[in-house]
Amino acid sequence: MSGNSKKKLLLMGRSGSGKSSMRSIIFSNYSAFDTRRLGATIDVEHSHLRFLGNMTLNLWDCGGQDVFMDNYFTNQKDHIFKMVEVLIHVFDVESKEVSKDIDVFVKSLKQLKQFSPNAKIFVLLHKMDLVQIDRREELFDIMMNKLKETSKVYGFDIVGFPTSIWDESLYKAWSSIVCSLIPNMNQYEENLTNLQKIIEAQEIILFEKTTFLVICSSNSGQLISSTNNNFEKLDPKRYEKISNIMKNFKQSSTKLKSQFHQLNLNNNLFIMELSSNLMIFVVLPFDANNNSGLIQENIKHAKKYFQ
C-alpha cells in the first residue's frame, strides 16, 4: 500500500446519542456492557488510529452538549470543519426532539459545504435495539427519506445505517465507513478473487486485524449474482456476525493474557494472520477432503500480495 493518508473523521450527534460508545467498542475493545461507565465527552476528543499500516484515522469525537455544539458552529467552525473526509452523524432513535436533531445536522452540512465540499456523509440511526423489531424498517425509511431530502439541498449524497451496540449492525456500518477510505480497494478484491480460484474456496473474507472490520470479500462483487446458488442460502449478515464473534473471542482470549492467533474449524474454515494488519478468513466447500497443511502453505504464499 502506498500513500501517506491521514483521514479526518468527524463523529457528531447530539449528547447521549452514543457516539463515544461506538468509538470505544470498535476501536478500544470495549464490550457493549462496559460502555455504561463512559461519561460525557468534553469538547472534542481526538484519537489517532492506525489502520491497515499506513492509513491514519483521525477521529474527532465531538461532545454533543448544546454548549459545545454552538461553539463548533460559531467560533471553531473553520477549525472543526476544515479538511474533513468523513462526517459520521449519529441520531438517537429514541430522541424526543427530532427536529432539533435534524437542525444540528443541517448546521453541520452547511459548514461542510463551505469548508470541505468533498466530504462523505454517513448517518447512523443509533440505539435501534430500543425499537420494536417490526417497526424498525419503517422508522429507518421515514428518517432516511427526510434526511436525504434535507441533505440534497446542500449537494451531499448520504448513506445511512440502522445501528445498535448490542448486535452486529455496528460492524456493518463501520466497515462500510472505513472501506470508503481505503484507496486501493480494487487491488485487494482482485487478489482475493484470484486466491479464491487457486485454493478453490467457497469464500474468503479479509478483516482488519485489530478492529476486525471487514475490508472486502471474494464474493462481494459480480460473483454473487453468478450461477453458484450456494451463496444465496448463506446468511447475508454473515460478515458482521463474524466480526462480532471474533471480536468477542479476542476479548475473551485476553483473559489468558494472550491474543488470538489462528483458528481451524473442522478443517473447513480457517482464520489466520495474513500480514501485520490483516486477518484472512477462508471457507472451503464442505464436501471436499481438505488438507490443512496445504491451505496454510497456500496462504503463506499469498501473503506477499497483500503487504
Partner 1 sequence: MEQPQIIAEPSNDPERATILLMGLRRGGKSSICKVVFHNMQPLDTLYLESTSKPTTEHYSSLIDLAVMELPGQLNYFEPSYDSEKLFQSVGALVYVIDSQDEYLNALTNLAMIIEYAYKVNPEIHIEVLIHKVDGLSEDFRLDTQRDIMQRIGDELLDLGIEGVQVSFHLTSIFDHSIYEAFSRIVQKLIYELPSLENLLDNLVQHSKIEKSFLFDINSKIYVATDSSPVDLQTYEVCAEFIDVTVDLNDLYENKISNQPLKCSSVLQNGYILTFHTMIRGLALVALIKDSDVDTTMAVVDYNVEIFNKALKEIWKRSILS
Q: Round to whole Å and give the CA distance between 26 and 37.
A: 16
From candidates 114, 225, 252, 291, binder to partner 1 by CB under 8 A: 252
Q: How many other C-beta atoms can be found within 10 angstroms of the C-beta atom of residue 112? A: 23
Q: Looking at residues 155 to 194 of the shown chain, list those that interact with partner 1 (rule: CB under 8 A).
A: none
State yes or no: residue 249 binds partner 1 (CB under 8 A). yes
Backbone angles phi, psi at 181, to 5 degrees: -95, -10
Q: Looking at residues 130 to 159 of the shown chain, list those that interact with partner 1 (rule: CB under 8 A).
A: none
Task: Please identify, among the stretches 47-55, 91-99, 115-123, 233-241, the one whose residues bind partner 1 according to the rule CB under 8 A.
Answer: 233-241
β-bridge pairing 203-208 and 278-283: antiparallel
Cell 501473503 locates to: 303
State yes or no: residue 283 binds partner 1 (CB under 8 A). yes
Task: Please identify, among the stretches 12-20, 179-187, 218-226, 249-257, the one whose residues bind partner 1 according to the rule CB under 8 A.
Answer: 249-257
Q: Round to whole Å and give the CA distance between 190 and 46.
A: 35
State yes or no: residue 291 binds partner 1 (CB under 8 A). no
User: DSSP alpha helices (H): ranges in 16-97?
Assistant: 19-28, 66-73, 77-81
* Nearer residue to partner 1 within complex by CB, 46 or 255: 255
Q: Determine the 3-state secondary structure of 217 from DSSP.
A: strand
Cell of 134: 417490526
Beta carbons within 8 Å of 25's beta carbon, 6+ residues apart? 31, 32, 35, 165, 170
State yes or no: residue 206 binds partner 1 (CB under 8 A). no
Task: Please identify, among the stretches 54-62, 176-184, 219-227, 231-239, the one whose residues bind partner 1 according to the rule CB under 8 A.
Answer: 231-239
State yes or no: residue 232 binds partner 1 (CB under 8 A). no
The site that binds partner 1 (CB under 8 A) totals a number of residues, namely 33
Binding positions for partner 1, rule: CB under 8 A: 33, 202-203, 234-235, 238, 241-242, 245-246, 248-249, 252-253, 255-269, 283, 286-287, 293
